[in-house]
Amino acid sequence: MAKIYNQAYLKDTIVPLEQANVGIASSAVLYGLSVYTVFPVVATKNGLSAFRLRDHYNRLLNSAKIIGIDTFANNWTYDSFTQAVSELVSANQFTETVFVRATVHVTAQVAGAKSRGLETQLSLFAYEAVPILSPTGVRLKTSVWRRTPDYSIPSRAKVNGAYVNSVLGKQDAIDSGYDDCLFLDALGHVCELSASNIFIVRDGVLITPKSSTDILEGINRKTILELAADMNISTLEREIDLTEVYIADEAFACGTSTGIAPIIEVDARKIGFGATPLTKGIKEKYTSILNGGDTSSKKYFTRFDTQFPQAKDDDTAKDNWG
C-alpha cells in the first residue's frame, strides 16, 4: 500500500487526513456520485510543480458536466482550484514526487437519484507516487466483463461509482494469475485496461483506440500523442481488434498512476519479439518531461513557491518515473 500524507483538503481548508470525511448519508457514498482526477506533483530542485494541472481541472469540470453535477463549476475557478492544491502542497512539505487525488463529492444527504443543484465539496489528498503496474512488463487477460458503454456510464467521465467495472475486471485478472485486465467494448473492440490507456505498435505506427471506443480520454494518452508528433512517429486513433494486440510488434499501457509500462503478454500470447525500441524511446522522452529534464517540460507544469530541504543538485529530488 502506498503511503498517504497526513494533511488533506476538505471543506475549503486543510485538515488532518483522519478528519477528511464525507457523510455516510451523502450522495457520494449512497450512489458513488463523485468525480475525480489524479495528477503528479513533481519534486525538482526549484520547488514543487503539478503536471498538466489545467487539464486535470478541466477534466473535473467535464466529468461533472457529463454527470450533471452543476455546482462545482459555479464554485470553483481554475485559480481557486490551484490555490487549494498549493495549500495542500504547503501543508505537507513534500520531499518527493507524489500523486494528488482531487475529488468532487456530492455531499447532499439522502437527495435521491439526481445530481443537479446539490451541494458539493472538493477534497484533495496526496500519496506516494508508486506505479500501479510494473514498469518492466505487464501481463494482461481479456476481461470477461465488458467496458461500460457511453450510453450507460460514460468512461470519459471519471465517476467514482463507475470504477466497480474496473474492480470486477482487474480482480478477475488477478485471480487468474495476471497483472491487469484488457477491456473490450460492446462490439468487441479493444478499450483500455482497468485504469490505463493502451497503445500498440504495428509496422512502426503507434496506434491507440479512438475516443469513441468507450475509453477515458487520458491526459497521459494525450501527452504521448503530443510527444510522438514531436518525435516524428506516425500515430493513428482508430478501432483496434483484440487479435491485432496479439500480433502487435509492441504494446504498452499508460496513465498518471501507471507511467508507461510495456505489455509483454495478453491471454498467454507473448507480444512482439522482446525488443521495444519505440516504447523505450517514448518512455525515455516521457520520463525526461516528468522529471523536468527536457527543454519542453516547462509548458506542462504549474510551479508552486514552496521549497523543500532535500533536493539534489540535478532537476529531481527523486526519480519515480523510470
Q: Does 58 lie in the same domain as 38?
A: yes
Instruction: Please say if the pLDDT value at position 312 is more than 70.
Output: no
Domain endpoint, select from 130, 151, 178: 130
Q: Does 89 lie in the same domain as 148?
A: no
Residue 78 lies in a domain: yes
228-237 confidence digits (pLDDT tens): 999 999 999 9
Residue 313 lies in a domain: no
Q: Does 184 lie in the same domain as 271?
A: yes
141-197 confidence digits (pLDDT tens): 999 999 999 999 999 999 999 999 999 999 999 999 999 999 999 999 999 999 999
What's the CATH number where 168 sits?
3.20.10.10
Q: Containing domain of residue 184, as a range?
A: 138-275
pTM over 0.95: no
What's the CATH number where 110 sits?
3.30.470.10
Instruction: Please say if the pLDDT value at position 321 is more than 50.
Output: no
Residue 71 lies in a domain: yes
Q: Does 118 lie in the same domain as 219?
A: no
3-state secondary structure of 44: strand
User: What percent of the chain clears pLDDT 70, i.e. is strictly above it?
Assistant: 94
Q: Does 227 lie in the same domain as 157?
A: yes
258-308 confidence digits (pLDDT tens): 999 999 999 999 999 888 999 999 999 999 998 877 777 888 999 987 544
Q: Does 151 lie in the same domain as 120?
A: no
97-135 confidence digits (pLDDT tens): 999 999 999 999 999 999 999 999 999 999 999 999 999
Domain endpoint, select from 83, 103, 130: 130
**For position 319, what pLDDT does the model report?**
44
Phi, psi of 2, rounded to the nearest 5 degrees: -75, 145
Mutual angle of helices 78-92 and 53-67, in 10-degree steps: 120
Q: Does 206 lie in the same domain as 159?
A: yes
60-100 confidence digits (pLDDT tens): 999 999 999 999 999 999 999 999 999 999 999 998 999 99
When divided into structural domains, the chain yields a total of 2
Domain endpoint, select from 130, 147, 168: 130
Residue 256 lies in a domain: yes
Q: Are strands 197-202 and 250-255 parallel, antiparallel or unpaired?
A: antiparallel
Q: Does 237 lie in the same domain as 110?
A: no
Average pLDDT along the chain: 93
Q: Does 270 lie in the same domain as 190?
A: yes
Instruction: Please say if the pLDDT value at position 257 is more than 50.
Output: yes
Which residue spans within the chain are E strands per DSSP?
7-10, 13-16, 34-44, 47-51, 98-106, 120-128, 138-142, 180-182, 197-202, 205-208, 235-237, 250-255, 259-266, 269-270, 301-303
**For position 274, what pLDDT does the model report?**
83
Instruction: Please say if the pLDDT value at position 309 is more than 50.
Output: no
**For position 295, what pLDDT does the model report?**
73
Mutual angle of helices 219-230 and 277-290, in 10-degree steps: 110
Q: Does 146 lie in the same domain as 271?
A: yes
**For position 306, what pLDDT does the model report?**
56
Residue 311 lies in a domain: no
User: CA quadruple 187, 190, 195, 196: dihedral positive or negative?
Assistant: negative
Residue 108 lies in a domain: yes
